[in-house]
């Protein structure tokens, strides 16, 4: 894979910063990062069909409400055009995609509840150790 389309909602600051980070780390890997805006279903379909005409491409949808709203379309287009894709959350896998790589949100909420429990039992929040994530969940 020498090219990756980053499907993003350019109106969201998070998507813009995520894309900038990808652009910064891609050159040493020999990968060209191409922004693909997703304002609506027609734009997604047209952009991905155009991107898929050139070989050796992959797809990374950035986390956004638009990606969730158009999940089935994105998964279907990736499959139709044989674009390897990686998603940020397991619900894309449940909907039919191949793989996700990201945090286990259920585990994060469980850990947060344990901290709340300890605080409610009298421990001071400032005395609780900060825990780093051990690894993201991939499926």
Strand partners, 138: 101
pLDDT of residue 132: 67
For 28-123, strand residue ranges (E) read 32-37, 57-61, 101-102
Q: Please, are residues 64 and 9 in contact by the beta-carbon 8 Å criterion? A: yes
pLDDT digits (tens, 9 = 90+) for 56-100: 999 999 888 888 899 999 999 999 999 999 988 888 888 888 788
Q: Sheet with 3-8: list strands edge to edge.
A: 32-37, 3-8, 57-61
How wide is the angle at C-alpha 5 spanned by C-alphas 85 and 93, nearest 5°?
A: 20
User: For residues 106 and 128, what is the distance between their CA atoms, to the nearest angstrom?
Assistant: 21
pLDDT, residue 138, reads 47
pTM given for the model:
0.75
pLDDT of residue 129: 85
pLDDT over 70 (residue 133): no
The per-residue pLDDT for range 15-64, each reduced to its tens digit, is: 778 888 899 999 999 999 999 988 899 999 999 999 999 999 999 998 88
């Amino acid at each position: 894979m020498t090219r990756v389309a980053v499907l993003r909602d350019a109106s969201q600051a998070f998507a813009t910063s995520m894309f900038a980070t990808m652009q910064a780390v891609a050159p040493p890997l020999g990968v060209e990062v191409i922004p693909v805006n997703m304002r609506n279903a027609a734009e997604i379909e047209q952009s991905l069909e155009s991107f898929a005409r050139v070989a050796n491409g992959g797809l990374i949808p950035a986390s956004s409400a638009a990606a969730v709203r158009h999940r089935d379309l994105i998964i279907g287009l990736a499959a139709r055009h044989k674009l390897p894709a990686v998603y940020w959350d397991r619900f894309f896998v449940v909907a039919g995609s191949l793989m996700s790589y990201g945090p286990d949100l259920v585990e994060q909420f469980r850990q947060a509840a344990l901290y709340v429990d300890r605080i409610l039992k009298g421990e001071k929040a400032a005395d609780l150790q900060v825990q780093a994530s051990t690894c993201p969940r991939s499926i």
